[in-house]
Structure 1
Amino acid sequence: MIRRNQRTGELAYYRCWNRQPVPLARLVKVAGRRWSTEENFQSAKTLTGLDQHQVRSWRSWHRWTLLAMLAHAFLTVSAVTQPDDPAPTELIALTRNEIRRLFTTLVSAPVHTLRHRMHWSHWRRRHQYRARRSHYQRRTQPTP
């Protein structure tokens, strides 16, 4: 299977094999799962410090990894279970990054008022919505 980048024209090759014939749509779906898995690991490293442990023993590494993955699962479930349209139309939905940021600022020693923190979250999500909309508009334009 060959995938071509729409913008650069770069080709990516996948070697696929199965005992029985498989529809192309299923092959594409399986190949695409690789990217979501890599993104989830990268997100876990960034959000929950999955890669911050200094290994000294198997038991401590196992506990650290389990704790980081549970924290990442908490953020993921919190983001997925948000109501479909809780926010005004010019905001993106709450993401794992935003939930972690809000959770951290609400739990840690308050530096600013709750109103200030919620206003800052609203501003950031509105900015991300506009950036995403602009990105999608640019991608739908035909390449020269």
Structure 2
Amino acid sequence: MAGVRWSVEECFQAAKGQVGLDHYQVRNWTSWHRHITLAMLALAFLAAVAADQAPNRPIDPHHPARGSDPITLTVPEIRHLLIVVFIPPAVTAARLLHWSDWRRRHQATARRSHYRRRSTDEPTG
């Protein structure tokens, strides 16, 4: 039961951090309900896009992906890219995509190092 509660808490934290679930200033129930509904709809959209972009391979923490492939697109990364598309920054689209690719490759390297360290720390028995 505790494991189920943990996943629900993670969903609420993602909604608060990514789509502003806790950024409401309303005075009645109808306004609060509209805000919460739109925030959860936005999070569902981002999660669906992230799930659609994920490769169809099983993830095994003991055998991480090899090579220099970047990690799959995450909800925060998709949100960041969409914000940049709708609110253009002072940089070009090519530079933005290069930054996103570099960042995801860096995260993949960090993940491999983390898994490598965890696999050496585990007791064999």
TM interval, shorter chain, is 0.7 to 0.9
> Is 1:69 equivalent to 2:69 in the alignment?
no
Which residue matches 1:95? Answer: 74
Choose which of 10, 19, 44 in structure 1 pairs with 2:15. 44
Which residue of the other structure, out of 44, 49, 61, is the alignment partner of 1:78? 49
- 1:57 equivalent in alignment to 2:24: no
Residue 99 of structure 2, aligned match among 101, 117, 120? 120
Paired residue type of 2:28 = S
1:16 corresponding residue in structure 2? none
Q: How far off is 1:143 after superposition?
A: 5.4
Q: Which residue of 2 aligns with 1:134?
A: 113
Shift of 1:110: 3.4
Alignment of 1:22-37 (within 5 A): 30-37=1-8
The aligned amino acid for 1:113 is T
Q: TM-score, normalised by structure 2?
A: 0.82
2:15–2:39 contact (8 Å) kept in structure 1: yes
TM-score, length-normalised on structure 1?
0.72
- Shifted more, 102-111 versus 40-49: the winner is 102-111
Displacement after TM superposition at 1:83 (Å):
5.1
* Cα pair 2:69 2:105 within 8 Å, conserved: yes
RMSD: 1.9
Ranges of 4+ aligned residues in structure 1 off by more than 3 Å: none
- Runs of 5+ unmatched residues, structure 2: 57-66
CA distance in 2, matches of 1:143, 1:84: 28
Question: Looking at CA atoms only, which structure, 1 or 2, has the larger radius of gyration?
Answer: 1
Residue correspondences, number:
113
- The structure-2 alpha-carbon separation of the partners of 1:32 and 1:89, relative to structure 1 and needing over 3 Å to count, comes to farther
Counterpart of 2:83, as a letter, is T
Higher helix share: 2
